[in-house]
Amino acid sequence: MFKSIRWKFIIIYFLLVFIAMVIVGVFIVQKFEESYENQIIKNIETVIENIIDVSSGIEEDDWGIVDGERIVKEEIRGTVSKWRLPYSESLYIIYNSDIKPEIIASVTGNEYLNKNLIGKSAYEYKTLKGEVLNEALKGRETIKNYPSDDDENVMVMHLAYPVENEVGKVKGVMYVTSNLSNMYNLLGEAKEIITKATVLALLITVILGFLIASSITGPIKDVTVKAASMAKGDFNQVVEVKSNDEIGQLAGMFNYLTLKLKTTMSEVYREKSKLDTIFTHMADGVIAVNIHGDIIHANPIAMKMLNLSKEDLENRKYDEIFERFNTKLTLEQIKNSNRWKGIHFVEIDTSIYRAKYASFRHKNNEIGGLIIVFQDVTEQQKLENMRKEFVANVSHELKTPLTTIKSYTETLLDGGLGETELASQFLKVIDSECDRMARIVRDLLQLSNLDYKQTKWNKGSLSIEELLKGAYFKMKISAEEKQQRLNLEIEENIQNITGDKDRLEQVILNIISNAIKYTPNEGKINILSFTKNGNVIITVKDTGFGIPEEDIERIFERFYRVDKARSRALGGTGLGLSIAKQIVEYHGGDIKIRSKYNVGTEVDIVLPIK
């Protein structure tokens, strides 16, 4: 009889049901015990919180304060004495004094206020457990069960709740004990009920087993095996449908569920991958922070902008990170202002970021936190500052000659024309200032053409030797007028380059002219040319005033002058080096400046050999 598949099925089914009932029974008992204990803990914590809320004495930073007739300990004791606890519970209020933890109030579930314990050390009262008390005094709420002092078979729950002052120091402990005998009595009754239910279930299992056809074991096993594979993440599972009955329908629904689940998981993964890609590779930094100040998301760009590591995100609060930037973007400031949407600028090191933030909300329309988007506007700010400075410089450069022209013209119109010599001098000044304005306008037009790529270039094979010799002879007279020594050294057989002769000559003349202007009388200027690493390098080295280190980076800015008074006295528009740099860069080269203040300056013009 027991060799038949039916009896095998019944025995297995019997054992499965028996094991399942045992496991369920154990689980139910454990969950019941856990739920009961959690309910007790919740009730105790509620009582403690209510006592704290209604007692003004507990809110004091120091329970040992005596202010006239007001004694904080007495206030706490009075509040506790009026409280009603369950019969199985006892409450102890412990003051964390500098000398020893002192019991200042004690009440039991039978409404008895134990005055004998008042003033005693909490460590001396054996009902209170030192291990639990020590953890609470360190600021950690602690819950542990110990055998009762009267009966080792009965467990007592000990809960110690630390009460801290404004600076985070534990000023006292609310210590509660709860006898769990009622819980264990209920657990015994529950075990008895579960045992009876298990016996009844097994009897029913044996009876129903005879009615179950052995043919269902195959499909069930198939479904079980493939469900386990799905639990591991393999959704490519199909159950063979062998009949149209309930088992066949179950197999069909399982296949349908597998297909839908596979499709859904694919869509979820695709959306997640899409969002991860967007956040990871977007040019702006994104940070999400919840209402408690925990950073819940930060893309790589944001972490790079704010110099954050993964450890920072895990271990530090949002406000802790942003307080160092001295910005109004902290969560605390946003909460205080009650403006959950706006824009702030954050300056980090040498970079400027525009932080645009807005809140996100939960289903119940409660604010859940902030989304902050950081945009790097450093270059925009620099360009804006340069634009303002450029406009100011142009206005200043044109205002000076215009003022001079107007003043001299008004003088002539007011009768100065009658004095021929004076009129001639004034007209020469007016002519000179007109020439100066014309040079400024000409240089500005040239810069504009270079910026908008409207310059007409006449490129061809160009001899460096001829170019430098021509520039040398043009500038030699100017150098001799200041008794300066102008030397030219050109490498033998130096290669030709491809470039615009007039434009490059303009660059070289500008560099040599600057060297002559800013080198004192009897100074020395060397012009060198040689090839290196596939480039022709033209070096102009002088023994002039030099350039301070902090001004070298800005020397190519338009209208920028190191010494404005000296520069204007020596003439020039302040645009020459800007034009020179753009011309050289168009030829694929570069200009480099090395200088020491009051020692001299060395300028390298690097041009590629093509």
User: How far is the C-alpha of 452 from the C-alpha of 582, rounded, in Å?
Assistant: 12
Domain that holds residue 402: 381-451
φ/ψ region of 50 (left if φ > 0, alpha if ψ in -120 to 50, else beta) reads alpha
Task: From residue 309, give the alpha-carbon distance in Å to each of 276, 318, 327, 383.
Answer: 18, 13, 20, 31
User: How far is the C-alpha of 422 from the C-alpha of 527, rounded, in Å?
Assistant: 44
Q: Are 591 and 607 in contact (CB under 8 A)?
A: no
Question: pLDDT tens digit string along 124-153?
Answer: 888 888 898 888 888 888 989 888 877 777
Question: pLDDT tens digit string along 148-194?
Answer: 877 777 888 899 999 888 888 888 898 998 888 888 788 788 888 88
- 84, 144: one domain: yes
What would the mean pLDDT of 546-574 be, rounded to a whole number?
65
Band (pLDDT 50/70/90 cuts) for residue 69 is low
What would the mean pLDDT of 351-370 be, rounded to a whole number?
78
Helix or strand holding residue 465 (H, E)? helix 464-481
Q: What percent of the chain has pLDDT over 70?
A: 83
| Residues paired with residue 170 on neighbouring β-strands, in sequence order | 164
User: Which position has the token pair 């009267």?
Assistant: 150
Q: Are 401 and 437 in contact (CB under 8 A)?
A: yes
User: How far is the C-alpha of 605 from the C-alpha of 586, rounded, in Å?
Assistant: 13
The pLDDT, as a whole number, for residue 110 is 58
What would the mean pLDDT of 582-594 be, rounded to a whole number?
88
Q: Are 261 and 238 in contact (CB under 8 A)?
A: no
The pLDDT, as a whole number, for residue 538 is 92
CATH of the domain at 441: 1.10.287.130
The per-residue pLDDT of the chain, averaged, comes to: 78
The pLDDT, as a whole number, for residue 344 is 75
Higher pLDDT, 305 or 215: 305
Question: Of 451, 485, 503, which residue is a domain's last?
Answer: 451
The pLDDT, as a whole number, for residue 539 is 93
**pLDDT over 60 (residue 3):** no
Residue 499: Cβ within 10 Å count: 28
Question: How many CA atoms does the CB half-sphere of 127 hold within 13 Å?
Answer: 18
User: How far is the C-alpha of 249 from the C-alpha of 162, rounded, in Å?
Assistant: 59
The pLDDT, as a whole number, for residue 540 is 93
Provide the Cα torsion 244, 245, 249, 251; round to 10°: -90
Task: From residue 238, give the alpha-carbon distance in Å to each of 109, 154, 248, 255, 256.
Answer: 62, 55, 13, 5, 9
- 203, 304: one domain: no
How many independent structural domains does the chain possess? Answer: 6
- 292, 271: one domain: no
In 3D space, the residue among 142, 139, 141 whose CA is nearest the CA of residue 167 turns out to be 139
- 304, 431: one domain: no
Q: What SS3 state is found at 286?
A: strand
Question: Of 418, 451, 484, which residue is a domain's last?
Answer: 451
- 464, 594: one domain: yes
CATH of the domain at 569: 3.30.565.10
User: How far is the C-alpha of 598 from the C-alpha of 519, rounded, in Å?
Assistant: 10
User: How far is the C-alpha of 119 from the C-alpha of 137, rounded, in Å?
Assistant: 18
Task: From residue 52, give the alpha-carbon distance in Å to each of 40, 44, 111, 136, 268.
Answer: 18, 12, 19, 16, 47
Q: Are 606 and 591 in contact (CB under 8 A)?
A: yes
Question: Of 376, 406, 424, which residue is a domain's last?
Answer: 376
Which has the minimum average pLDDT: 140-149, 387-396, 447-456? Answer: 387-396
Q: What SS3 state is found at 575?
A: coil
User: How far is the C-alpha of 343 from the C-alpha of 335, rounded, in Å?
Assistant: 15
338 token code pair: 């009650």
- 329, 369: one domain: yes
In 3D space, the residue among 98, 99, 100 whose CA is nearest the CA of residue 124 turns out to be 100
- 466, 596: one domain: yes
Q: Are 60 and 72 in contact (CB under 8 A)?
A: yes
User: How far is the C-alpha of 342 from the C-alpha of 592, rounded, in Å?
Assistant: 44
The pLDDT, as a whole number, for residue 95 is 86
Task: From residue 521, give the alpha-carbon distance in Å to each of 310, 481, 512, 516, 524.
Answer: 62, 9, 15, 9, 9
The pLDDT, as a whole number, for residue 566 is 46
Q: Are 251 and 219 in contact (CB under 8 A)?
A: yes
Q: What percent of the chain has pLDDT over 90?
A: 7
Question: pLDDT tens digit string along 562-574?
Answer: 655 444 444 455 6
Which has the minimum average pLDDT: 330-344, 426-440, 551-565? Answer: 551-565
Helix or strand holding residue 310 (H, E)? helix 310-315
Question: pLDDT tens digit string along 511-520?
Answer: 998 889 889 9
78 token code pair: 């009075």
User: Which position has the token pair 């044996």?
Assistant: 206
- 479, 599: one domain: yes
Provide the Cα torsion 188, 191, 193, 198; round to 10°: -160
The pLDDT, as a whole number, for residue 565 is 43
| Residues paired with residue 497 on neighbouring β-strands, in sequence order | 462
CATH of the domain at 159: 3.30.450.20
**pLDDT over 70 (residue 218):** no
User: How far is the C-alpha of 254 from the C-alpha of 388, rounded, in Å?
Assistant: 71
Which has the minimum average pLDDT: 86-90, 250-254, 288-292, 497-501? Answer: 250-254
Residue 125: Cβ within 10 Å count: 17
Which has the minimum average pLDDT: 414-418, 430-434, 531-535? Answer: 414-418
Band (pLDDT 50/70/90 cuts) for residue 561 is low
- 82, 120: one domain: yes
φ/ψ region of 384 (left if φ > 0, alpha if ψ in -120 to 50, else beta) reads alpha
- 116, 241: one domain: no
Band (pLDDT 50/70/90 cuts) for residue 506 is confident
**pLDDT over 70 (residue 418):** no
- 145, 160: one domain: yes
Highest mean pLDDT among 428-437, 518-527, 581-590: 518-527
End-to-end CA distance of the chain: 101
The pLDDT, as a whole number, for residue 526 is 93
Report long-range pairs for 262-268 (Cβ below 8 Å, ≥24 apart). Answer: 262/235, 262/236, 265/235
| DSSP class per residue in 477-494 | HHHHHTT-EEEEEE-TTP
- 479, 595: one domain: yes
